[in-house]
Structure formats: structure tokens, C-alpha cells
């Protein structure tokens, strides 16, 4: 099968709520909340640890069952794990017995796609994240940042309409985090998938997002949805702009009201 480019997806969340456990041990993790994400948006779920932002992302992916409410991707209800999304986590999902190229190809093999037809696309992706010359290296031969860049290629190689990112930069040092943030921004600008990005970094959310969903401490609810009106591309210099500083101050004030800053 030849590679095709997926259309960016729309996402709709209707009165979604998630409880874990039952009885005296029941934990209200998230919701209820509503949200609409237009095709091609880059939306960050921003909140303190334990607020349910990763829980919401997993429910969008169909990897975690909702307690109440409905989620739709391209108007199709999410009631099972979806194969038309790309997912990237904080910890690299590369398997140690495959090369970098082999790990990227694994995403295709699991979907029954012809890896040979995607050779040029894989080359393009690896080049775009500066992994030229490392295609045949094993994951243990790469730095943590290089592993995450390979994992980003793995998540996006099948051209998903939706890309779900769960704090993929959280464990990286500042310089590596900025490099991968730039790679991610470039890939999004070139291909425009719909991105849901989970983070607890206010600065990161502002720098990457078209909109930011501010989530309350547990039980997490989407309390504010903030448009980020900054020009693209956004390098480090954007953090010195009045618009960035104003957005940062607004969100800090919200979290201060929650008692978490």
C-alpha cells in the first residue's frame, strides 16, 4: 500500500468524566468537561500533576474508557483504541532490539502497511529531526533527546490526522527540550495534524499552542480556554514579546487562584 496523507481530524468532547475505583476508594479523576478542537489546531492541556490531563488524552485515544460523556474524532464516536492517531509519551517507546529505522518501520508493520513504500517518507522525517546517519543505530547508542526525536518520527510516520503527546519533553534537559520543541513545531507547521499536547509547563504551552486548555486541580475540569495570538514560527525570542509575557502572567494568575503557584 502506498503512503497517503491523512486529513487533520476534528475532536469533540461532550460532558466527559472519569472515575477510578468504586465505593470508598473511588477517585474522581476528571470532568465533566466539554471541548471542541478544529482540524489542524495545536491544543495544549495545561495543568498541575494529577489533574487528569493525561487521563483525558488516553480517553481521546480510546485507550481508557470514559465513565460518562462522549468523545468524537471526525464525528466518529471513540469506543475502542484508534489506529488513526499517533501517540508519544514521556518515556521513549523504542524497542531495544531494533534500529532507529526499524523502530519507525514498526509503526507501519503494526498497521499492515508496506514499509518499502514509506522509505522516502522515513528518510525525510529522520532528516527533519537531525537523525541522518543514525538510521542503523540501536536505541542504547542514542542520547535521550535523540531517542525522543526517533519516537516522534515513529508517532507521525503513518501521517495520522491526530497526534497525541503526553509530556514528551518532560525528562529532557533545557537545551535538548528546546531542540525537540523546534522539531515538533516544524513538523506541525509542515504537515498540520491536529495536536493534543499534555504539559505542566506554561511557557511550553504558550510557545507551541494555538489554544491552551487550563485544567483545574483534581478533579480536573477545563476551566479556561485561551487563544495564543503569536506569529509562527516561534523561537526562543518570542518569550521576550509583550504578548507572550501577558499570556504567561494571565495563566500564572489563574494557577495562583487554584493555590498551585
pLDDT in tens, 77-134: 999 888 888 888 877 778 999 999 999 999 899 888 888 898 998 998 898 888 888 9
State the CATH number of the domain containing residue 222. 3.40.50.300
Question: What element of type H or E holds 59?
Answer: helix 53-61
Residues 6+ apart with CB under 8 A from 234: 185, 207, 208
Beta bridge partners of 19: 28
Alpha-carbon torsion 143, 149, 152, 158, what sign? Answer: negative
Domain count within the chain? 1
**Where in the sequence is the domain holding 220, given as residue range(s)?**
7-84+194-261
pLDDT in tens, 215-261: 999 889 999 999 999 998 888 889 999 999 999 999 999 999 888 76
What does the pLDDT read at residue 258? 87
With respect to residue 17, please indicate whether it lies within any of the assigned structural domains. yes
Angle in degrees, CA 259, 55, 58, rounded to 5: 150
With respect to residue 254, please indicate whether it lies within any of the assigned structural domains. yes
Model confidence at 141: pLDDT above 60: yes
With respect to residue 174, please indicate whether it lies within any of the assigned structural domains. no
Burial 85-115 (b: 16+ CB within 10 A, else e): bbbbbeebebeeeebbbbbbbbbbeeeebeb
What does the pLDDT read at residue 1? 38
What does the pLDDT read at residue 179? 81
What does the pLDDT read at residue 259? 81
What does the pLDDT read at residue 209? 95
Nearest alpha carbon to residue 145 among 124, 103, 174, 187: 174
pLDDT in tens, 6-63: 578 899 999 999 999 888 888 899 989 999 999 999 999 999 888 989 999 999 999 9
With respect to residue 184, please indicate whether it lies within any of the assigned structural domains. no
What does the pLDDT read at residue 125? 87
Is 231 in contact with 42 (CB distance < 8 Å)? no
Cα distance between residue 201 and residue 137, in whole Å: 32
What does the pLDDT read at residue 156? 85
- Segments in 99-222 forming alpha helices (H): 100-109, 119-128, 144-156, 174-191, 202-208
With respect to residue 231, please indicate whether it lies within any of the assigned structural domains. yes
What does the pLDDT read at residue 252? 95
With respect to residue 31, please indicate whether it lies within any of the assigned structural domains. yes
With respect to residue 252, please indicate whether it lies within any of the assigned structural domains. yes
What does the pLDDT read at residue 2? 40
Distances (CA, A) of 251 to 2, 230, 241, 254: 45, 16, 16, 5
What does the pLDDT read at residue 6? 57
With respect to residue 39, please indicate whether it lies within any of the assigned structural domains. yes
What does the pLDDT read at residue 21? 85
Give 118-135 as a DSSP string: GHHHHHHHHHHTT-TT-T
pLDDT in tens, 181-203: 888 888 888 888 999 999 989 99
What does the pLDDT read at residue 32? 93
Is 208 in contact with 197 (CB distance < 8 Å)? yes
Amino acid at each position: 500500500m502506498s503512503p497517503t496523507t491523512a486529513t487533520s481530524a476534528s475532536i469533540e468532547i461532550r460532558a466527559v468524566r472519569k472515575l477510578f475505583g468504586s465505593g470508598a476508594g473511588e477517585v474522581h479523576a476528571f470532568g465533566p468537561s466539554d471541548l471542541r478542537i478544529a482540524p489542524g489546531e495545536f491544543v495544549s492541556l495545561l495543568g498541575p500533576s494529577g489533574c487528569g490531563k493525561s487521563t483525558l488524552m488516553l480517553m481521546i485515544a480510546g485507550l481508557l474508557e470514559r465513565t460518562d460523556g462522549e468523545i468524537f474524532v471526525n464525528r466518529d464516536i471513540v469506543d475502542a483504541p484508534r489506529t488513526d492517531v499517533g501517540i508519544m509519551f514521556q518515556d521513549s517507546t523504542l524497542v531495544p532490539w531494533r534500529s532507529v529505522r526499524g523502530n519507525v518501520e514498526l509503526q507501519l508493520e503494526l498497521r499492515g502497511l508496506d514499509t518499502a513504500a514509506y522509505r522516502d517518507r522515513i528518510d525525510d522525517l529522520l532528516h527533519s529531526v537531525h537523525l541522518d546517519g543514525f538510521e542503523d543505530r540501536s536505541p542504547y547508542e542514542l542520547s535521550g533527546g535523540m531517542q525522543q526525536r526517533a519516537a516522534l518520527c515513529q508517532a507521525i510516520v503513518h501521517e495520522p490526522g491526530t497526534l497525541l503527546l503526553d509530556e514528551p519533553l518532560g525528562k529532557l534537559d533545557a537545551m535538548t527540550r528546546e531542540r525537540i520543541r523546534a522539531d515538533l513545531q516544524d513538523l506541525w507547521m509542515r504537515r498540520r495534524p491536529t495536536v493534543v499536547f499534555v504539559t505542566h509547563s506554561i511557557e511550553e504551552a504558550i510557545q507551541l499552542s494555538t489554544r491552551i486548555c487550563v485544567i483545574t486541580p483534581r478533579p480536573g475540569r477545563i476551566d479556561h480556554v485561551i487563544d495564543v495570538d503569536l506569529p509562527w514560527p516561534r523561537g526562543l525570542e518570542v518569550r521576550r514579546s509583550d504578548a507572550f509575557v501577558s499570556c504567561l502572567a494571565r495563566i500564572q494568575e489563574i494557577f495562583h487562584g487554584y493555590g498551585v503557584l
